[in-house]
């Protein structure tokens, strides 16, 4: 065999080896339970296609002044606030103001209900008038929201106890919200005086995911739509800057993002931690599970989910009273945040914890210790736990 | 545009065939030997299919195959022809030249005039260049021909932070001088510049290449403010070459029709580049690092950073230099590229924590050059990229196989 033939054979072998080893060269995928993003199981191919469109609109579409950003805004894309669909970072914390009493509409004449603290070049951002109370909201994780939206009003009201009739010190009330004009109630919605139960947001001010999404486009990005054509800078109507289809794609994406998956559920310390969680009555508000009813989306139907939330408002004490509010909530009332995905928060918050509604808590323990009001008793019992039980509880929470 | 370029190509070819020319022009009158060549000569010392006539025609082709994945997901096997480039040079007289480079990217989806300039030589230290000039920022921007490199991909910092290939309409001067083993060169140009898109774009970061989408930059400046680009370089035949370059000016449209829209905002870019060949091992080393400073309104989002930095280092080691596959002067190389970019150098106003938006990559590879003009490349790429918050990085890796050849 000539040298040239040997050289050629070696070159061909090298190429073949390189191509056939392709898959072994690709980085391994993280475990599914370590990721918040991804579709829920059981979507049809057409639903997966819709999910993909929504995924692109949510995570990849960046608004510029030319495509409708602002002129005043908080963030320029959905993904800016919800990296990896997880909890947000103080970088994109948003500020609400203008309403200081329940059921009194926010004063839009002073710029409410939301502060647009950024502006495109050549424009000035909003400022809050002196002396006006405000509240900061760190963006929440957006996974599993479709399951929460699928729950019926009676399921939520089952955990409500406005007058604390059972005497456990925990009340729990819904935030009743005036619906936007485009809201179409489902059969399970139960209006009271024309208002509907809010489920999403720190104060539960959004009734469903369309309400939440339209509000985010408008108030967070300054992007108008046919659903809400009012430009937050001028207060005047303008042409839609995002299409109905894109908004509906994003809503479908949010509806069909998977629920966070617990990790290390069989770890004895995690099991012990859950027992402690139940024993000190954290579960009175952070209700562990629900089962969804039949939904328009089959993949969301009849599923037992573990959000660790009752979606109701609770008095959290004066330490968490920011003096501002939304809907029928008191200024000291906050919706119980779902705890699912809590352990993965640092994966989307730049390696740190920024917990509570405004990110003021830098650890889970600090967040627990900031609980007051109806949660004061559970907080005090946590502080009094043995170190072993305390660590077990924290490990359980990190497993969620 | 396509018709114009095809017509130009055929016209020049016909002109060459007719050959009613001054016979004194039928020689390659490049004043520099390759030994004296500097990075700044990359555009004028190209390989041409025809080079012994007043009109020289050449170009290069790049094609590749990729199998790349990110965090366990891959788009599968991809074949690409990232660019075909056509060079046309004409010696109008012994001291006046026309040089051009037309690039057909993504299979002809984009056609760009990357370079179309007239050079007038008054003195080795004083040459006038005007037209569409390639701004001399760093080294890669001018020295970007695919067949010169051992890697399938262009350096990230030079194409995704600096906007290689960045060319624009303008005029300027360049020159060189030699003293024994030393060569000194300079370039200085005024051209049209950047625009608002570098800080308001869908890349969601300060992104100088965004201005390349503005085709009107060949027709008019976005703001009436010239962009200055200058470079000085020194080369010692026994040591190597070091270049220092700067590009800067007002980038935004701050005034229109007599109305004030914003305050004038500056862009400043500094770059250092070097290359050397180690005499004891024939190891070729080339690198470049650049720093970008952009005046971004402090009321705008920090998503768009005020500072960027990044660069690359290529190490190429010939390991077999002999007749192979029937090619007499074939060379087999092993190569390594190290590169990184920080698109947003700084800290968050809200937390004081570091802003992410960074990438680094290691690209080992092998290359085979049957001739100087043609290279076959096999690279393995591993890179990690963090988002602006500094969350756990997206890990990307895979193989890239391709070739590039002058023609």
Measured in whole angstroms, the distance separating CA A213 from the mean position of its chain's CA atoms is: 11
Mean pLDDT of A345-359: 95
**Nearest Cβ partner for B390 among A69, A118, A351:** A351
Mean pLDDT of A209-226: 97
- Please count the structural domains in chain A: 1
Q: Which of A32, A81, A122, A221 should we substitute to test contact with B (largest number of B Cβ atoms within 10 Å)? A: A122
Let me know if residue A13 belongs to a domain: no
- Percentage of residues in chain A with pLDDT exceeding 90? 84
Q: Which residues of chain B fall below pLDDT 50?
A: 10, 12-35
Let me know if residue B147 belongs to a domain: yes
Q: Which residues pair with B255 in a beta bridge?
A: B260
Q: Which residues of B55-80 are buried (b: 16+ CB within 10 A; e: fewer)?
A: bbbbbbbbbbbbbbbbbeebeeeeee
> How confident is the model at residue A2, as a pLDDT?
67
Residues of B in contact with A14 (CB under 8 A): 378
Let me know if residue B4 belongs to a domain: no
> How confident is the model at residue B369, as a pLDDT?
96
A89·B389 Cβ contact <8 A? yes
Q: Which residues contact A103 (CB under 8 A, 6 or more apart)?
A: A327, A328
Express each pLDDT in A42-65 by its tens digit.
999 999 999 999 999 999 999 999
- The vertex-B208 CA angle with B202 and B212, nearest 5°, equals 80
Q: A361, A367 in Cβ contact below 8 A?
A: yes
Size of chain A, expressed as the number of residues it contains: 400
Let me know if residue A350 belongs to a domain: yes
Residues of A in contact with B198 (CB under 8 A): none
Phi, psi of A67 (to 5 degrees): -100, 5
> How confident is the model at residue A9, as a pLDDT?
77
CA B245 → CA B65, B156, B186, B345, distances in Å?
A: 34, 19, 9, 21
Q: Which of B65, B200, B304, B364 should we substitute to test contact with A (largest number of A Cβ atoms within 10 Å)? A: B200
Let me know if residue B2 belongs to a domain: no
Express each pLDDT in B193-229 by its tens digit.
999 999 999 999 999 999 999 888 888 899 999 999 9
Q: Which of B260, B301, B348, B368 should we substitute to test contact with A (largest number of A Cβ atoms within 10 Å)? A: B301
Residues of A in contact with B203 (CB under 8 A): 62
B397·A18 Cβ contact <8 A? no
Size of chain B, expressed as the number of residues it contains: 407
- Please count the structural domains in chain B: 1
A26·B74 Cβ contact <8 A? yes
Let me know if residue A208 belongs to a domain: yes
SS3 B194: coil
* Range list of β-strands (E), B144-283: 167-179, 182-191, 227-236, 240-250, 255-256, 259-260, 266-277
Closest-CA distance of chain B to residue A11, Å: 10
> How confident is the model at residue A16, as a pLDDT?
74
Closest residue on chain B to A94 (Cα): B350
Let me know if residue A392 belongs to a domain: no
Domain residues for A339?
32-261+281-384
Q: B396, B68 in Cβ contact below 8 A?
A: yes
CA atoms of B45 and A357, how far apart (whole Å): 63
B399·A8 Cβ contact <8 A? no
Q: B293, B264 in Cβ contact below 8 A?
A: no
Q: B190, B133 in Cβ contact below 8 A?
A: no
Mean pLDDT of A232-236: 92
CA B387 → CA A201, A350, A359, B73, distances in Å?
A: 25, 9, 20, 18
- The closest of B190, B204, B195, B193 to B160, measured between CA atoms, is B204
CATH of the domain at B240: 2.40.160.10
CA atoms of B165 and A104, how far apart (whole Å): 58
B350·A348 Cβ contact <8 A? no
CA B335 → CA A11, B273, B280, B332, distances in Å?
A: 17, 19, 17, 10
Domain residues for B367?
24-406
Closest-CA distance of chain B to residue A358, Å: 12
Q: Which residues contact A72 (CB under 8 A, 6 or more apart)?
A: A116, A118, A119, A123, A125, A126, A222, A232, A233
CA atoms of A296 and A322, how far apart (whole Å): 38
Determine how many CB atoms are found less than 10 A away from the CB of residue A240. 17
- The closest of A31, A78, A29, A37 to A257, measured between CA atoms, is A37
**Nearest Cβ partner for B301 among A75, A123, A350:** A75
Measured in whole angstroms, the distance separating CA B3 from the mean position of its chain's CA atoms is: 26
B350·A90 Cβ contact <8 A? yes
CA A107 → CA A96, A219, A242, distances in Å?
A: 11, 15, 26
The 3-state secondary structure of B149-177, one letter per residue: CCCCCCCHHHHHCCCCCCEEEEEEEEEEE
Closest-CA distance of chain A to residue B370, Å: 13
Closest-CA distance of chain A to residue B53, Å: 37
pLDDT over 70 (residue A18): no
Mean pLDDT of A86-109: 89
Residues of B in contact with A27 (CB under 8 A): 69-72, 395-397
Q: Which residues of A100-126 are buried (b: 16+ CB within 10 A; e: fewer)?
A: bebeeebeeeebbbbbbbbbbbbbebb
CA atoms of A144 and A359, how far apart (whole Å): 21
**Nearest Cβ partner for B200 among A18, A84, A120:** A120
Q: A84, A348 in Cβ contact below 8 A?
A: yes
Q: Between A and B, how many residue pairs show a Cβ–Cβ distance under 8 A?
A: 129
Let me know if residue B14 belongs to a domain: no
Residue B367's Cβ-count burial label (10 Å; 0-12, 13-18, 19+) is: buried
Residue showing tokens 């969350």: B391
Let me know if residue A399 belongs to a domain: no
Let me know if residue B237 belongs to a domain: yes
pLDDT over 80 (residue A277): yes
Mean pLDDT of A303-329: 95
Let me know if residue A7 belongs to a domain: no
Express each pLDDT in A187-210 by its tens digit.
999 999 999 999 999 999 999 999
> How confident is the model at residue B22, as a pLDDT?
43
> How confident is the model at residue B36, as a pLDDT?
60
Global pTM value: 0.90
Q: Which of A8, A83, A85, A91 should we substitute to test contact with B (largest number of B Cβ atoms within 10 Å)? A: A91
> How confident is the model at residue A1, as a pLDDT?
53
Helix (H) or strand (E) holding B397: strand B394-406
Mean pLDDT of A326-339: 95
- The closest of A87, A150, A140, A101 to A297, measured between CA atoms, is A150
Q: Which of B344, B348, B391, B400 should we substitute to test contact with A (largest number of A Cβ atoms within 10 Å)? A: B391
Express each pLDDT in A354-367 by its tens digit.
999 999 999 999 99
Let me know if residue B10 belongs to a domain: no
Let me know if residue A10 belongs to a domain: no
Express each pLDDT in B63-112 by its tens digit.
999 999 999 888 899 999 999 999 999 988 989 999 999 998 776 677 88
Residues of A in contact with B202 (CB under 8 A): 61-62, 64, 67
**Nearest Cβ partner for B300 among A62, A84, A119:** A119
Closest-CA distance of chain A to residue B25, Å: 42
Closest-CA distance of chain B to residue A292, Å: 31
B353·A350 Cβ contact <8 A? yes
Determine how many CB atoms are found less than 10 A away from the CB of residue A396. 26
- The vertex-B30 CA angle with B174 and B50, nearest 5°, equals 125
Determine how many CB atoms are found less than 10 A away from the CB of residue B213. 11
Q: B167, B101 in Cβ contact below 8 A?
A: no
Let me know if residue B16 belongs to a domain: no
Question: Can you tell me the ipTM of this complex?
Answer: 0.89
B398·A90 Cβ contact <8 A? no
Q: Which residues of A353-377 are buried (b: 16+ CB within 10 A; e: fewer)?
A: bbbbbbbbbeebbebbebbbbbbeb
Q: B290, B137 in Cβ contact below 8 A?
A: yes
**Nearest Cβ partner for A64 among B200, B297, B326:** B200
pLDDT over 90 (residue A315): yes
């Amino acid at each position: 065999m000539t040298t040239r033939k040997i050289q050629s054979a070696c070159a061909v072998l090298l190429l073949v080896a390189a191509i056939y080893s392709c898959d072994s060269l690709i980085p391994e995928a993280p475990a599914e339970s370590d990721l918040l993003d991804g579709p829920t199981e059981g979507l049809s191919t057409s639903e997966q296609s819709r999910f993909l469109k929504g995924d692109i609109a949510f995570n990849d579409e960046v608004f510029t002044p030319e495509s409708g950003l602002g002129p005043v805004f908080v963030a320029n894309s959905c993904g800016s606030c919800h990296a990896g669909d997880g909890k947000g970072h103080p970088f994109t914390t948003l500020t609400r103001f203008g309403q200081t009493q329940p059921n009194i509409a926010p004063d839009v004449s002073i710029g409410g209900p939301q502060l647009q603290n950024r502006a495109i070049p050549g424009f000035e951002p909003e400022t809050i008038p002196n002396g006006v109370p405000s509240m900061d909201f760190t963006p929440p994780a957006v996974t599993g929201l479709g399951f929460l939206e699928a729950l019926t009003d009676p399921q939520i009201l089952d955990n409500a106890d406005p007058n604390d009739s059972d005497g456990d010190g925990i009340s729990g009330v819904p935030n009743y919200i005036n619906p936007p004009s485009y809201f179409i109630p489902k059969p399970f919605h139960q209006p009271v005086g024309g208002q509907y139960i809010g489920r999403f947001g720190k104060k539960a001010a959004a009734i469903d995911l369309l309400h939440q999404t339209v509000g985010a486009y408008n108030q967070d990005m300054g992007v108008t739509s046919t659903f809400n054509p009012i430009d937050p800078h001028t207060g005047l109507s303008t042409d839609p800057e995002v299409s109905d289809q894109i908004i509906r794609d994003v809503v479908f994406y949010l509806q069909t993002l998977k629920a966070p998956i617990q990790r290390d559920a069989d770890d004895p310390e995690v099991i012990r931690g859950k027992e402690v969680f139940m024993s000190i009555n954290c579960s009175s508000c952070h209700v562990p599970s629900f089962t969804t009813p039949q939904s328009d989306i089959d993949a969301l139907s009849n599923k037992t989910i573990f959000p660790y939330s009752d979606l109701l408002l609770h008095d959290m004490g004066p330490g968490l009273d920011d003096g501002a509010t939304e809907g029928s909530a008191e200024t000291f009332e906050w919706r119980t945040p779902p705890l699912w995905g809590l352990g993965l928060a640092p994966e989307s918050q730049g390696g740190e914890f920024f917990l509570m509604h405004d990110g003021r808590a830098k650890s889970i323990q600090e967040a627990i210790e900031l609980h007051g009001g109806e949660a004061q008793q559970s907080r005090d019992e946590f502080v009094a736990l043995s170190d072993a039980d305390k660590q077990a509880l924290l490990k359980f929470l990190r497993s969620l | 545009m396509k018709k114009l370029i095809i017509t130009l190509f055929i016209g020049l070819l016909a002109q060459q065939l007719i050959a009613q020319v001054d016979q004194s022009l039928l020689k390659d009158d490049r004043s520099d030997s390759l030994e004296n060549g500097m990075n700044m000569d990359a555009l004028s010392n190209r390989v041409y299919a025809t080079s012994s006539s007043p009109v020289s025609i050449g170009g290069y082709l790049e094609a590749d195959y990729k199998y790349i994945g990110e965090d366990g997901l891959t788009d599968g096997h991809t074949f690409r022809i990232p660019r075909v480039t056509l060079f046309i040079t004409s010696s109008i007289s012994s001291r006046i030249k026309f040089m051009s480079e037309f690039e057909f990217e993504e299979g002809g989806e984009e056609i760009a005039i990357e370079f179309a300039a007239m050079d007038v030589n008054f003195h080795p230290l004083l040459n006038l260049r005007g037209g569409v000039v390639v701004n001399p920022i760093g080294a890669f921007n001018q020295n970007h021909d695919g067949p010169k490199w051992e890697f399938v991909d262009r350096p990230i910092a030079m194409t995704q932070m600096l906007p290689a290939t960045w060319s624009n309409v303008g005029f300027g001067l360049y020159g060189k001088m030699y003293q024994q083993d030393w060569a000194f060169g300079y370039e200085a140009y005024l051209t049209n510049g950047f625009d608002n898109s570098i800080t308001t774009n869908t890349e969601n970061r300060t992104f100088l290449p965004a201005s390349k989408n503005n085709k009107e930059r060949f027709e008019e400046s976005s703001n009436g403010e010239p962009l200055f680009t200058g470079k000085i370089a020194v080369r010692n035949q026994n040591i190597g070459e070091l270049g220092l370059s700067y590009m800067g000016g007002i980038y935004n449209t701050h005034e229109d029709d007599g109305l004030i829209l914003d305050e004038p905002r500056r862009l400043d870019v500094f770059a250092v580049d070097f290359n050397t060949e180690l005499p004891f091992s024939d190891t070729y080393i080339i690198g470049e690092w650049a720093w970008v400073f952009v005046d971004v309104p402090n009321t705008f989002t920090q998503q768009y950073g005020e500072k960027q930095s990044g660069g690359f280092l290529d190490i190429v080691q010939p390991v077999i230099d002999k007749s192979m596959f029937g090619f007499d002067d074939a060379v087999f190389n092993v190569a390594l590229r190290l590169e990184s970019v920080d698109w947003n150098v700084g800290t968050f106003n809200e937390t004081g924590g570091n802003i992410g938006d960074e990438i680094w990559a290691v690209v080992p590879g092998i290359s085979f050059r049957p001739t100087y003009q043609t290279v076959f490349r096999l690279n393995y790429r591993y890179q990690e990229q963090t988002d602006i918050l500094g969350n756990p990085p997206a890990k990307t890796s895979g193989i890239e196989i391709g070739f590039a050849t002058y023609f």
